[in-house]
């Protein structure tokens, strides 16, 4: 996968930004936003490209503006655990060691708002509300991480898949509105690596759910025919 990074001339305005309301920048007022605009640079990545890698020195932070990314960690022997999928509005790259602690690559075309670390750090410096916002996002992610630990450690394959479908749908609600048709831009392998399963088990579980009339497997996603049943399967 050869990098085909495109850097647009930075004529975008934050005020027009699609993720203005949900992203870190939601904590900025009009004046700050003007200054903030000069800090970030829109960058495009095409499908499969890596935005940053685990252990890389952190030189930038990223605000995902458009598209989907997979965030993952690799073991030396190639086993992979996807620790999350990023959606528009997600803020990536915060760490305390100066190095990224997971890798991130694009699933389909992606647009990010990239901030160089130092100027961004300076901008935050004395802006309590922005730091608060970042803190809030971190805590929110921490909760998600803990929920996911429960899923990985204590749930069966069926429960994992059901919980994944519901969780993913839920995340899409705030972006595209509620729908029982759930697009799944990521591959079966991605789903497997997110749920701590194999690709075969994910595939089999999907077909099982379909045979039971609970979902329908459609091109590029699934359709929830019986959301209540899926919720029952996901247990809790």
In the complex, which residues of this chain contact a copy of itself (CB under 8 A)?
73, 75-77, 79-81, 83, 94-97, 101-102, 126, 128, 131-132, 134-136, 138-143, 145-150, 152-155, 193, 195-196, 235-236
3-state helix, strand, coil in the chain (%, to 5): 40, 25, 30
Distance between CA atoms of 167 and 158, rounded to whole angstroms?
Answer: 14
Cβ 75 to DNA shortest distance, Å = 12
Of 68 and 151, CB closest to a copy of itself = 151
Residue 111 engages DNA in binding (rule: CB under 7 A): no
Query: Residue 105 binds which one of DNA, a copy of itself, none, with CB within 5 to 8 A depending on kind?
Result: none
CA diameter of the chain = 57
Query: Residue 189 binds which one of a copy of itself, DNA, none, with CB within 5 to 8 A depending on kind?
Result: DNA
How many Cα atoms are found within 13 Å in the side-chain-facing hemisphere of 201? 16
Cβ 102 to a copy of itself shortest distance, Å = 6
Distance between CA atoms of 209 and 166, rounded to whole angstroms?
Answer: 14
Give the interface size with DNA as a residue count (CB under 7 A): 20
Query: Residue 150 binds which one of a copy of itself, DNA, none, with CB within 5 to 8 A depending on kind?
Result: a copy of itself
Tokens 């990010």 appear where?
Answer: 112
b/e code 186-219 from CB counts within 10 Å (16+ = b)? bebebbbbbbbbeeebbeebbeebeeeebbeeee
Residue 202 engages DNA in binding (rule: CB under 7 A): yes
Distance between CA atoms of 188 and 194, rounded to whole angstroms?
Answer: 10
Residue 157 engages DNA in binding (rule: CB under 7 A): yes
Write phi, then psi, for 182 (nearest 5 degrees).
Answer: -110, 110
Query: Residue 166 binds which one of DNA, a copy of itself, none, with CB within 5 to 8 A depending on kind?
Result: none
Query: Residue 200 binds which one of a copy of itself, DNA, none, with CB within 5 to 8 A depending on kind?
Result: DNA
Residues of the shown chain interacting with DNA in the complex, contacts defined by CB under 7 A: 156-158, 187-189, 196-204, 206-207, 217, 219-220
């Amino acid at each position: 996968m050869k990098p085909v990074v495109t850097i647009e001339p930075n004529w975008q305005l934050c005020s027009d930004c699609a993720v203005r309301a949900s992203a870190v920048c939601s904590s900025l007022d009009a004046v700050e936003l003007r200054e903030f605009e000069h800090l970030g640079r829109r960058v495009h990545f095409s499908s499969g490209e890596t935005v940053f890698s685990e252990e890389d020195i952190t030189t930038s932070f990223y605000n995902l503006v458009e598209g989907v990314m997979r965030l993952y960690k690799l073991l030396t022997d190639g086993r992979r655990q996807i620790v999350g999928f990023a959606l528009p509005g997600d803020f990536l790259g915060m760490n305390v060691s100066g190095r990224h602690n997971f890798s991130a690559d694009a699933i389909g075309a992606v647009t990010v708002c990239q901030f160089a670390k130092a100027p961004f750090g300076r901008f935050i410096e004395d802006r309590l509300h922005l730091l608060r916002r970042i803190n809030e996002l971190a805590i929110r992610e921490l909760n998600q991480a803990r929920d996911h630990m429960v899923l990985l450690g204590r749930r069966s394959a069926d429960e994992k898949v059901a919980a994944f479908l519901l969780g993913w749908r839920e995340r899409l609600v705030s972006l595209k509105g509620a729908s029982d048709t759930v697009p799944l831009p990521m591959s079966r392998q991605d789903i497997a690596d997110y749920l701590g399963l194999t690709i075969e088990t994910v595939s089999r579980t999907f077909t099982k759910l379909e045979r039971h009339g609970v979902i329908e497997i459609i091109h590029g996603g699934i359709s929830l025919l019986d959301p209540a049943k899926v919720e029952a399967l996901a247990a809790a």
